[in-house]
Copies of this chain bind each other. A is one copy, B any other.
Amino acid sequence: MKKEKIPQPTIERLPIYYRCILQMKAEGIRTVSSEELGRRIGVNSAQIRKDLTYFGEFGRRGIGYEIESLIEDIMRILGVTQERRMLIVGVGNLGTALLRHRGFSKEQFHIVAAFDSDPEKIGQEIEEISVYDLRLLDTIIKEKDIEVAVVTVPAKDAQRVVNQLVGCDIKGILNFAPTQVTVPENIKLRNVDLGVELLRLSYHLTNS
């Protein structure tokens, strides 16, 4: 792997390439050209070739990329080889849906604890995952060696919960609360705001 700095847009696209080639592997396909990958993803093939050279992958003319070795390389770059433990704060509609979903284990993320401040929810089990009192956050994070938190609390509580997580040395946060939260630079934050996605869709519907 080259040591030069990888551009952020390349990093953003890499998981999408990974998704696609995993699916192709499942279809029994062994090699893929940048054109075919581009057609499936909706990215132009020159961009794909350029992105993959950052990781030292070069397709062979007339053959393309070997899917098996491409998967191994991307897994290593993305860190998917390592199991990660995750918690959820906020056992409402979305939090419960994510607990029941169980679909993150193929990305090596495992939900091992849930938290809420509602006494009626604390002590429950959802899909064999215990719902703890939010006051136990620090204890459970250390006990269970948790790296990542998924935040599904109402907007008004989000920054307070995020501050609490930062205080417990969480390393990464996936925020679903429909509000912007801020974290110190050493914490990795990804926002998934469904309302923002709808507004972006709205822009395109209005201006097309």
A residues with a Cβ closer than 8 A to B are 11-12, 14-16, 18-20, 23, 39-42, 77-80, 82, 84, 93-94, 96-98, 100-101, 103-104, 106-109, 147-148, 155, 171-172, 174, 178-180, 182, 186, 188, 190, 192-208
Contact = CB atoms under 8 A, between A and B. Distances in A.
- Label chain A's interface by main secondary structure: helix
A202 B84 contact: yes
Contacts of A195: 15, 19, 103-104, 106-107
B205 A104 contact: no
Nearest to A6: B207
Contacts of A107: 195, 198-199, 202
Contact of A207 (B79, B199, B203, B206): B79
Given A96-B97, A201-B188, A78 B206 contact: yes
Contacts of A23: 155, 179
